Amino acid sequence: MSVSFSPPVSFAALVFLFALSSVTFAAEASSGTNARSPPTQEQWMALADELDGRLHTALPVSSPCFEIVNGVHVGRNETECAIVQQGYTSPLFRSPRFSPRMFPHWETCQKTAAKCLLDSSQPNNSVAWEGVDCEQGSVSPYYIDVQSAIDVQIAFRFARETGAVLSVKASGHDYKGRSGAPGSLSLWTRNLNEMSYSANFVPEGGNESFSAITLGAGVPFEDVYAFADANNVTIIGGYHQTIAASGGWVMGGGHSVLSPVYGLGVDRVLQFRIVTPDGQLRVANKIQNPDLFWALRGGGGGTFGVVLESTMLVEPQMKLQIASVNFTQTPENAQQFLKLIVDQTLKWSNEGWGGHMRASGFINVNPLLTLEQAKESVQPAVDFALSQNGTAVVEELPSWQAFFSKYVVFVESAIGAPVILGTRLIPVDLFSTEAGKAKFLGVLDNVIAQFNITPGVVYATPFLFNHTEGSTSVTSAWRNSLWHMSYHGQWAYNSSVEEIRAQYELNSNMTQMLRDISPDSGAYLNEADVHEPNHEESFWGDNYPALLDIKRRYDPDGLLDCWQCVGWKGLEDERYKCYL
Ligand SMILES: Cc1cc2nc3c(=O)[nH]c(=O)nc-3n(C[C@H](O)[C@H](O)[C@H](O)COP(=O)(O)OP(=O)(O)OC[C@H]3O[C@@H](n4cnc5c(N)ncnc54)[C@H](O)[C@@H]3O)c2cc1C
Ligand SMILES: *[C@@H]1O[C@H](CO)[C@@H](O)[C@H](O)[C@H]1NC(C)=O
Ligand SMILES: *[C@@H]1O[C@H](CO)[C@@H](O)[C@H](O)[C@H]1NC(C)=O
Ligand SMILES: *[C@@H]1O[C@H](CO)[C@@H](O)[C@H](O)[C@H]1NC(C)=O
Ligand SMILES: *[C@@H]1O[C@H](CO)[C@@H](O)[C@H](O)[C@H]1NC(C)=O
Ligand SMILES: *[C@@H]1O[C@H](CO)[C@@H](O)[C@H](O)[C@H]1NC(C)=O
Ligand SMILES: *[C@@H]1O[C@H](CO)[C@@H](O)[C@H](O)[C@H]1NC(C)=O
Ligand SMILES: *[C@@H]1O[C@H](CO)[C@@H](O)[C@H](O)[C@H]1NC(C)=O
Ligand SMILES: *[C@@H]1O[C@H](CO)[C@@H](O)[C@H](O)[C@H]1NC(C)=O
Ligand SMILES: *[C@@H]1O[C@H](CO)[C@@H](O)[C@H](O)[C@H]1NC(C)=O
């Protein structure tokens, strides 16, 4: 299905081109006593031979639109440029290709403004490329299209021998730039696409069986959902077509609108198959490598190894009640509606609702109630929307697949333009007392008054789910919260470094107001403020010291690292030279 888009140039020719051009490699640029020279052209060629066609070079996805790429005059390719323009803001275009990320600022070097971008709001706007050079930015110049454990083992050995910097990418959905690093050799797991279903899956070495689906590390949720539906089961997953179910989503937490009843991704995963940085292919489950299994259940992607597949518990096919409420937002009704949903949240949470809410409506889902009960439950919100001349539908659908295709695909978050998030897990006590609600609404109103920004609410914490204490490594704040709330920041493709910096700062400031009223809570590491203060505590709470031990045990040489990940080397490391 995915169209191959490699430039029509041989591997050797591209290695040569990089050698001539302004592309620099992390090892080359690094300073200090341990600085190593970058892999030589001969080393890259030897790696290419060993990988037998699975090592590729990469240019920024928009490069065919530019005359000059990495300082070399190559000329535009109108045919290829038209394809990029057409797909620029589509996840279905971006996710099966190596170079693009969902958020194009992570393809750039934000600090130096080295980039190769089109105008997201109008990709055919020639101002973006006329007289402008395309620069490699943070796009890894080399990547391995991972097919099996051997490819990953070769890469870890290469990194150990040559000092090459590694990065790991599945779908490129990351909000924090963790699926790439400038000058790195990337391990791209997007084409690990196997799926299988077993009604009696037994984790290796175990004696209990489960109804479960096993997924290669690259399989996007839209394929997972179709597969589960074809097998007449329900898998609990994210709110977007192209997130990789077995990648960063599950390792970082993995929320679903069904999580309030069925738990987070980390609660449902039964087993991983992973190559750890010491080169071992391992099974991690409750019985084998249980320490690693625990760390992979919340410690985050890109940290403990390269996951090849995961196996997840599934539920029977189920009916869902859907409540969709929508009206045209005004400053007054936004505030009134936020008050209404804050007032209702504790009751709704006890009834099993989850969903996505905003100041002008919601799409909520319930697997526990009957249609009649659901209608009664959301009546206050329905009445409110109708009073604003809005719309409201409460209906029963036969399956998750029916819900996803009817509701989610049309409202899922836009991609292809820069977006950042600042989020907080909002604890129960801010919904359960009048004083708590007043304090919380005070902050929401204050942000509206000061910045005219209303929040997005992911209503997906595992509130009713009966989890086993100590089984996962996510912050315990997840278990004690009702909302995962976010503020968005954004800018244009051509915004200046200073404008971008201001957006990060504004976003951090708004998020800080939420931290101030929930000092003991935390944040979801996959969707947090890029500059989360005290991130170890925020993402992992008391689990951090044990996570760090496990990181050191399985990755003693620190071959893997990512921004604010467990064992993070810190912003002084060369790998982070493009972060603002
Ligand atoms: C539009 C949109 C909607 C979203 N909706 C949801 C949602 O409903 N629920 C939710 O919980 N989150 C959601 N997210 C956040 C999502 O979970 C994170 O972006 C997550 O990091 C994506 O993981 P990925 O592997 O698909 O992405 P990538 O960007 O490819 O990778 C993310 C991280 O995981 C690592 N990684 C990827 N693959 C592997 C692997 N095979 N082995 C080891 N490490 C790996 C990467 O190195 C990186 O650190 C959404 C994000 C976007 C952009
Ligand atoms: C442009 O790209 C297309 C598709 O990859 C290729 O067939 C064609 O030869 C290229 N044209 C030029 C002028 O390089
Ligand atoms: C770009 O595309 C839009 C919408 O398809 C069109 O209206 C506009 O004329 C195009 N602009 C250019 C410069 O081609
Ligand atoms: C299953 O294994 C656990 C320990 O792994 C053991 O305690 C239990 O007795 C076993 N159950 C059966 C039915 O074998
Ligand atoms: C699908 O699963 C449901 C719920 O377990 C069951 O009632 C139904 O009979 C199954 N349908 C088929 C076609 O197997
Ligand atoms: C809400 O309604 C407006 C028009 O009234 C529409 O443009 C928008 O897409 C709707 N949003 C949702 C989430 O249904
Ligand atoms: C809703 O529509 C009616 C009839 O057009 C109008 O009188 C009323 O002012 C509208 N209400 C709001 C809140 O827009
Ligand atoms: C949690 O456990 C209680 C007690 O066994 C049970 O009544 C409840 O249904 C369980 N909740 C969920 C969401 O499974
Ligand atoms: C960015 O592009 C827009 C539209 O092309 C233009 O109006 C604006 O001036 C540009 N901004 C900067 C900082 O160049
Ligand atoms: C963020 O808050 C700091 C400290 O209050 C303030 O100095 C700064 O101007 C704020 N930045 C933005 C962009 O609002």
Q: What is the Å distance from ligand 10's center to 534 Cα?
A: 19
C-alpha distance across the termini of the chain, in Å: 37
Asked if residue 497 lies in contact with residue 562, where contact means CB atoms within 8 angstroms, the answer is: no
pLDDT in the model for residue 468: 96
Half-sphere exposure of 474 (CA within 13 A, CB side): 32
Residue with structure tokens 């190769």? 116
Which ranges constitute the DSSP H helices of 520-571? Answer: 535-540, 544-554
* pLDDT at 414 (0 to 100): 85
Q: What is the pLDDT of residues 406-444, one digit of tens each?
A: 999 988 888 999 999 999 999 999 999 999 999 999 999
List, in order of start, the domains of the chain with CATH numbers.
11-188 (no CATH), 195-317 (3.30.465.10), 320-540 (3.40.462.20)
Is the backbone of residue 430 left (phi > 0), alpha (psi -120 to 50) or beta? alpha
Which atom belonging to ligand 5 lies closest to the Cα atom of 232? 1
Binding-site residues, ligand 6, Cβ < 6 A: 326, 328, 411
Give the mean model confidence (pLDDT) for residues 153-171.
97
SS3 281: strand
* Contact between residue 309 and residue 174 where contact means Cβ atoms under 8 Å apart: no
Question: What is the spatial distance between Cα 297 and Cα 252, in angstroms, rounded to a whole number?
Answer: 7
Please tell me the predicted confidence (pLDDT) of residue 7. 42
pLDDT class of 107 with cuts at 50, 70, 90: very high
Query: For residue 235, is it left (φ>0), alpha (ψ between -120 and 50) or beta?
Result: beta
Tens of pLDDT along 270-302?
999 999 999 999 999 999 999 999 999 999 999
Structure tokens at 497: 């470094």
Count Cα atoms within 13 angstroms, Cβ side, for 287: 7
> Angle 406-410-414 (CA atoms, 0-180°, nearest 5)?
155
Give the model's pLDDT for residue 24: 62
**For the residues 329-335, what does the mean pLDDT come to?**
95
- pLDDT on residue 33: 37
Estimate the crossing angle of helix 331-351 against helix 434-451, to 10 degrees: 140
pLDDT category at 61 given cuts 50, 70, 90 is very high
CA of 495 to the centre of ligand 9 (A): 7
Better pLDDT: 168 or 22: 168
Distance 248 CA to ligand 1 centre (A): 4
CA distance 303 to 525: 13
DSSP secondary-structure letter at 170?
S
Confidence at residue 28, expressed as pLDDT on a 0 to 100 scale: 45
Q: Which two tokens stand for residue 512?
A: 């800080």
pLDDT of residue 1: 30
- Between CA 567 and CA 548 the distance in angstroms is 6
User: What is the pLDDT of the chain when averaged over all its residues?
Assistant: 94
Rounded Cα distance between 74 and 91, Å, is 28
Query: With bands split at pLDDT 50, 70 and 90, how would you rate the model's confidence at 22?
Result: low
Ligand 9: which residue has its CA nearest to atom 10?
Answer: 494
Q: 529: buried, middle or exposed (CB in 10 Å: 19+, 13-18, 0-12)?
A: buried
For residue 261, which atom of ligand 8 is closest to its CA? 13
Residue 155 CB partners (closer than 8 Å, separation 6+):
144, 166, 185, 187
Residue in this structure with the two tokens 């404008």, named with its chain if needed: 499
Which protein residue's CA is at the shortest distance from atom 6 of ligand 7?
389
Rounded Cα distance, 522 and 510, in Å: 15
- pLDDT tens for 203-253 read 999 999 999 999 999 999 999 999 999 999 999 999 999 999 999 999 999
Distance 129 CA to ligand 2 centre (A): 18
* Alpha helices per DSSP H over 459-496: none
- Whether 29 shows a pLDDT value over 50: the answer reads no
Residue 302 Rama label (left phi>0; alpha psi -120 to 50; beta)? left
Distance in angstroms (rounded) separating the CA atoms of residues 192 and 147:
6
If one residue of 495, 505, 512 were mutated to test the ligand 10 pocket, choosing by the most ligand atoms within 8 A of its CB, it would be 505
User: Quick one: pLDDT at residue 19?
Assistant: 61
Residue 82 CB less than 6 A away from ligand 2 = no
Structure tokens at 429: 């006590």
182-200 tens-digit pLDDT: 999 999 999 999 999 999 9
Measured between alpha carbons, how far is 31 from 21 in angstroms, rounded to an integer? Answer: 21
Distance from C-alpha of 549 to C-alpha of 151, rounded to nearest angstrom: 27
Tokens of 190: 């997007």
Separation of CA 407 and ligand 1 centre (Å): 22
Residue with CA at minimum distance from ligand 6 atom 12: 326
pLDDT of residue 37: 79
For CA atoms 152, 154, 155, 160, give the dihedral sign: positive
Beta-carbon contacts of residue 302 (< 8 Å; ≥ 6 apart):
167, 168, 178, 179, 248, 560, 561, 562, 565
Q: Which of 290, 288, 270 is nearest to 550 (CA)?
A: 290
Tell me if 191 sits within 8 A of 171, measured CB to CB.
Answer: no
Q: Which of 231, 314, 317, 401 to mutate to test the pocket of ligand 5 (most atoms within 8 A of CB)?
A: 317
Position 476 scores a pLDDT of: 98
Helices (H), 254-356: 259-262, 265-268, 290-296, 331-351
φ/ψ of 383, rounded to 5, equals: -60, -40
Which of the four pLDDT bands, split at 50, 70 and 90, describes residue 14? low
Ramachandran class of 177: left when φ > 0, alpha when ψ lies in -120 to 50, beta otherwise: left
Distance, CA of 499 to CA of 502 (rounded, Å): 5
pLDDT of 473 over the 90 cut: yes
The residue-averaged pLDDT of 72-93 equals 97
The 10 Å Cβ neighbour count of residue 373 is 13
pTM of the full structure: 0.95
Cα distances (Å, whole numbers) of residue 230 to 195, 225, 235, 401, 480? 12, 9, 12, 10, 35
C-beta separation of 348 from 364 below 8 A? yes
pLDDT at position 413: 84
Chain segment 338-372, per-residue pLDDT in tens: 999 999 999 999 999 999 999 999 999 999 999 99
Query: Residue 145: CA atoms inside 13 Å, Cβ hemisphere, count?
Result: 15
The model's pLDDT over 507-553, given as tens digits with 9 standing for 90+, comes to 999 999 999 999 999 999 999 999 999 999 999 999 999 999 999 99
